[in-house]
C-alpha cells in the first residue's frame, strides 16, 4: 500500500526518524499518519494492498483523502472501507482522485454539485485560478465554501477564487 509514511510507521504507533523529519518539515501531517495507520488495520480484513493515498486534509466536519490511483479501492465494496475510515476518524470522509485532469479532480471534490468551469485569470500580475460553481448547487456542496477554497489552494498550489454563478 502506498501512503505518505513508510510501511513500518503505518504499522507502529510512532514515526521513524525519516517520517518524523517529513512531519517536522510539513511534508506530511499527523492526519496523514493516522489515516495510514487506519488503512493498514483495514488492509488485514479487506485486502486493499493496492490502494494508495498521498494526502489527507481535515476540513472541519469532513476529511478529504486524495489518491492518485483508483478511488474504488479506498471506498470498498458497498462503501465498507470508507465507512470504517469514517468511524475510526469520527468524521465524514470523502475520497477524490487527484490527477492531471484538474477539472475531474475538482468535480470529484464538490460532487454532487456541478462544476461550471475552471479559468486562469491574470490579476495584478499574478495568475489566479477561477473555479465556477452553479448558484443553484450551493446547497449540494459537501463542504462549506471556506474549506473548499482552502482545499483548492492546497491542491492547485496557487491563488484560487470561487465564483458562484
Cβ contact 116:132 at 8 Å: yes
Q: What is the pTM of this model?
A: 0.83
> What is the per-residue pLDDT for 59?
82
| Tens digit of pLDDT at every position of the chain (165 positions) | 888 998 888 888 888 899 899 989 988 899 999 999 999 989 888 888 888 888 898 888 889 999 888 888 889 899 999 999 999 999 999 998 887 888 888 888 888 888 999 998 888 888 888 999 989 988 888 888 888 888 888 888 788 888 898
Q: Alpha-carbon distance 110 to 141, whole Å?
A: 6
User: Whose CA is closest to 118, among 97, 104, 108?
Assistant: 104
**What grid cell was written down for 130?**
477561477
- Would you say 67 and 53 are in contact if contact means Cβ atoms under 8 Å apart? yes
From the list 37, 34, 67, 30, the residue with the least C-alpha distance to 50 is: 67
Non-local (6+) Cβ contacts of 41 within 8 A are 88
**Rounded Cα gap, residues 86 and 90, in angstroms:** 6
C-alpha cell of residue 35 = 489515516
| Alpha helices (runs of H) in the chain, residue ranges in sequence order | 7-11, 17-25, 30-46, 72-75, 80-89, 102-110, 145-156
36/88 Cα distance (integer angstroms): 12
The pLDDT of residue 87 is 94
Q: Map grid coordinates 465564483 to a residue.
A: 163
Q: For the chain, list the domains and their CATH numbers.
A: 1-98 (3.30.300.20), 100-165 (3.30.300.20)
Amino acid at each position: 500500500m502506498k501512503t505518505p509514511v513508510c510501511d513500518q510507521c503505518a504499522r507502529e504507533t510512532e514515526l521513524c526518524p525519516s517520517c518524523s523529519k517529513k512531519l517536522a518539515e510539513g511534508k506530511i501531517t499527523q492526519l496523514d499518519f493516522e489515516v495510514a495507520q487506519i488503512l493498514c488495520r483495514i488492509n488485514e480484513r479487506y485486502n486493499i494492498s493496492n490502494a494508495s493515498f498521498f494526502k489527507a486534509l481535515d476540513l472541519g466536519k469532513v476529511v478529504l483523502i486524495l489518491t492518485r490511483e483508483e478511488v474504488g479501492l479506498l471506498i470498498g465494496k458497498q462503501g465498507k472501507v470508507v465507512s470504517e475510515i469514517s468511524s475510526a476518524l469520527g468524521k465524514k470522509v470523502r475520497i477524490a482522485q487527484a490527477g492531471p485532469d484538474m477539472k475531474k479532480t475538482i468535480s470529484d471534490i464538490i460532487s454532487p454539485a456541478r462544476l461550471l468551469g475552471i479559468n486562469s485569470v491574470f490579476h495584478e500580475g499574478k495568475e489566479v485560478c477561477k473555479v465556477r460553481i452553479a448558484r443553484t448547487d450551493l446547497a449540494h456542496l459537501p463542504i462549506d465554501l471556506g474549506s473548499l477554497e482552502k482545499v483548492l489552494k492546497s491542491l492547485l498550489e496557487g491563488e484560487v477564487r470561487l465564483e458562484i454563478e
